[in-house]
Amino acid sequence: MASEGETQTAGEYIVHHLQNLTFGRHPDGTWGFAHGAEEAANMGFMAIHVDTMFWSVFLGVIFCWLFRKVAKNIEAGVPGKLQNFVETIVEFVDNNVRDAYHGDSKLIAPLALTIFCWVFLMNLMDLVPVDWIPGLVHLAGVEYQKVVPTTDVNATMGMALTVFVLILGYSLKMKGVGGFVGELAGQPFAAKSLVGKILATPINLILEGVALLAKPVSLGLRLFGNLYAGELIFILIALLGIWQLPLHFGWAVFHLLVITLQAFIFMMLTVVYLSQASEHH
């Protein structure tokens, strides 16, 4: 990457670092990796961002392995530092779930813990210097490598749509089809007469439908936008050469707060949305 970076313009350097390693079908019918943004775009919807898939699964496995290890070796006496750390996270998530979720589902707390830790680990990859891992894989012949899965809108929207499916599932389970549809059609403009209900129902469906669809969109785009902007700033700082170190350190310290906050916000919004879906009106 270093030798290649010497011949790249600033614009080419930025575009290269923001390009995913994409695998898909070329227009000529062959399958393979894209050699640029144009080739990746021509592969269409079914193309796969291999780097996003790899790093998200890899970090998820690390989370599961670490927490399982602590759970298997848990001690009732004086716990070790790792056990203290894990117990602190579990207690933190559990307290927030108890405050925000008013149902009795046993899925919510484990889901919230998984979301918080997994999103945090994916965000944390943003603190790895932007040339380190791409430089290493470039030696192996891999042209592109984005190591922060949450800077890929496909990953963040995929998680957001999964939450949206859970919202619909909880709404139908707790309220039934009639209750869920009635909730969408009966507010915010409530009417007692038949004529009033007929007039208010289309407006209510539009307003509540937009509000419902806005949940996954805002959930996914908020996380993507914040991490993408942070990654872009790291790339711009890297263009400064030897002057990048103090700026990189300062932005990394500030960004540590951002990546933690974004993981917490994604978790809390998920819990709040599922709590709303579980409530009877």
In a domain, 11, yes or no: no
d(CA 264, CA 270): 10
Q: What is the DSSP letter of 36?
A: S
Active site annotation includes 25? no
Name the strand (E) or helix (H) holding 187. none
Matching residue, tokens 């919510």: 108
pLDDT of residue 153: 97
Longest dimension (CA), the chain: 75
d(CA 136, CA 225): 27
Active site annotation includes 193? no
In a domain, 97, yes or no: yes
In a domain, 40, yes or no: no
Choose among 268, 265, 245: nearest CA to 257: 265
In a domain, 246, yes or no: yes
Domain range spanning residue 133? 78-142+150-278
In a domain, 244, yes or no: yes
pLDDT of residue 234: 95
- Walk along the chain (281 residues) and give the pLDDT tens digit of each residue: 444 445 789 999 999 999 999 999 998 999 999 999 999 999 998 899 999 999 999 999 999 999 999 999 887 777 789 999 999 999 999 999 999 998 888 999 999 999 999 999 999 999 999 999 999 999 999 999 999 999 999 999 999 999 999 999 999 999 999 989 988 988 888 888 878 888 889 999 999 999 999 999 999 999 999 999 999 999 999 998 777 888 889 999 999 999 999 999 999 999 999 999 988 65
pLDDT of residue 281: 58
pLDDT of residue 4: 45
pLDDT of residue 6: 54
- The total of structural domains in the chain comes to 1
* pTM, full prediction: 0.93
In a domain, 63, yes or no: no
Q: Indicate which residue of 171, 226, 275, 278 is catalytic.
A: 226
> From the CB of residue 175, how many other CB atoms can be counted at a distance below 10 Å?
18
pLDDT of residue 104: 84
In a domain, 134, yes or no: yes
d(CA 175, CA 153): 32
